[in-house]
């Protein structure tokens, strides 16, 4: 499959797990697109049109979607917290300012409990790590087919909107933390850092080779543990979302209403007969459900009544055929709210711990 709508379950899953990649195709590569074969006569930089082209591009290729989404979410974080900082005052905070202060206080408390050195960089670094990773993980709650399908109409064949399901992003973040760990270890400990590697855990010159081997392995394991833990958890969750969408996708044949609930609850528009109508139904259902939740938060609608109205909305828009799939998607999404927050918190705490160890000069 090269950019067309996925026709089989295997193609559907492969399509959703393929990044939008920009790289260099080697000379002599036979490029197949829409049934036509084109011979690349000289090395060419281009967007990959299939998973095979991604493999042919090799290491020096850019995951455009991961890069743009992560930078965009980082900019959103910077803009929102910059506005909150500008509006901060001695008055009682409310709204977004109140929430921002809660997040800052939470992160600051975690840093004070975990970091035992003195460094003004650590609190803002921890805040950036936590919120940025949380925002990247939060993209997972957007229906799996919604953004890729809309962009496919615009000619963009591949799109992964969750940057933390890309090991390049998670390992890149971990590498940044690792560089800081090395920098502060050398800056604060100086020659003592080399001595620490050579004489820990066995404080005798005869064990220097063994000590160096164990300590270097332990040191290099830090960025891998950080990056791969985040990637593994987010990637597994993404696969489960996709599998649930595939499992109940066939029920979209029940018609516009069956396909509508499929889109409302799982975001799967690829196998419905009328994808644009399904997107419209998803939008209607999304607005209605969000309105009901907002009324509940404001205390204008009882929780029990809100739950019944949400269920009734799903039944009216989508019918009973996809209700089971929808419940699974919503249930997994609710559970994943805890997972995405916990993974951002773990990454932040481990980063603080590693930097704290780098500041300890015995």
Q: How many residues does the chain have?
A: 362
List the chain residues with pLDDT less than 70.
1-8, 34, 245-282, 314-330, 332-333, 361-362
Longest Cα–Cα distance in the chain: 76
Q: Of 157, 233, 351, 356, which one is the catalytic site residue?
A: 233
| pTM of the predicted model over 0.85 | no
CA distance 233 to 239: 10
Containing 47, the helix (H) or strand (E) segment is strand 44-47
Q: Where are the chain's structural domains?
A: 9-60, 65-238
In our burial notation (b when 16+ CB lie closer than 10 A, e otherwise), range 312-337 reads ebbeebbbebbbebbebbbebbeebe
CB–CB of 131/348 below 8 Å? no
pLDDT for 258 = 41
Say whether 233 is catalytic. yes
pLDDT for 167 = 92
Residue 271 DSSP class: T
């Amino acid at each position: 499959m090269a950019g067309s709508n996925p026709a089989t379950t295997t193609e559907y899953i492969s399509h959703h797990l393929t990044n939008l990649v920009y790289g260099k195709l080697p000379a002599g590569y036979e490029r197949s697109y829409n049934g036509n074969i084109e011979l690349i006569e000289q090395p060419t930089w281009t967007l990959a049109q299939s998973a095979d082209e991604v493999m042919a591009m090799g290491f020096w290729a850019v995951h455009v979607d991961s890069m743009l989404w992560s930078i965009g979410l980082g900019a959103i974080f910077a803009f929102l917290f910059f506005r909150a900082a500008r509006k901060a005052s001695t008055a009682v905070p409310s709204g977004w300012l109140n929430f921002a202060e809660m997040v800052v206080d939470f992160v600051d408390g975690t840093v004070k409990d975990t970091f035992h050195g003195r460094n003004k960089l650590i609190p803002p670094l921890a805040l950036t790590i936590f919120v940025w990773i949380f925002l990247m993980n939060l993209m997972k709650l957007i229906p799996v087919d919604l953004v890729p399908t809309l962009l496919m109409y615009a000619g963009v064949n591949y799109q992964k909107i969750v940057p933390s399901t890309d090991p390049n992003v998670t390992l890149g973040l971990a590498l940044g933390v690792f560089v800081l760990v090395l920098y502060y270890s050398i800056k604060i400990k100086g020659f003592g850092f080399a001595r620490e590697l050579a004489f820990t855990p066995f404080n005798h010159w005869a064990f220097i080779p063994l000590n160096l081997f164990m300590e270097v392995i332990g040191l290099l394991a830090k960025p891998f543990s950080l990056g791969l833990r985040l990637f593994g958890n987010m990637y597994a969750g993404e696969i489960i979302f996709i599998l649930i969408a595939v499992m109940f996708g066939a029920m979209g044949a029940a018609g516009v209403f069956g396909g509508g609930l499929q889109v409302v609850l799982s975001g799967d528009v690829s196998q419905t007969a009328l994808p644009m109508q399904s997107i419209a139904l998803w939008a209607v259902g999304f607005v209605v459900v969000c309105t009901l939740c907002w009324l509940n938060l404001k205390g204008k609608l009882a929780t029990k009544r809100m739950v019944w109205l949400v269920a009734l909305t799903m039944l009216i828009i989508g019918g009973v055929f996809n209700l089971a799939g929808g419940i699974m998607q919503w249930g997994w999404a609710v559970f994943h709210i805890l997972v995405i927050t916990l993974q951002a918190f773990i990454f932040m705490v481990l980063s603080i711990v590693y930097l704290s160890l780098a500041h300890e000069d015995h």
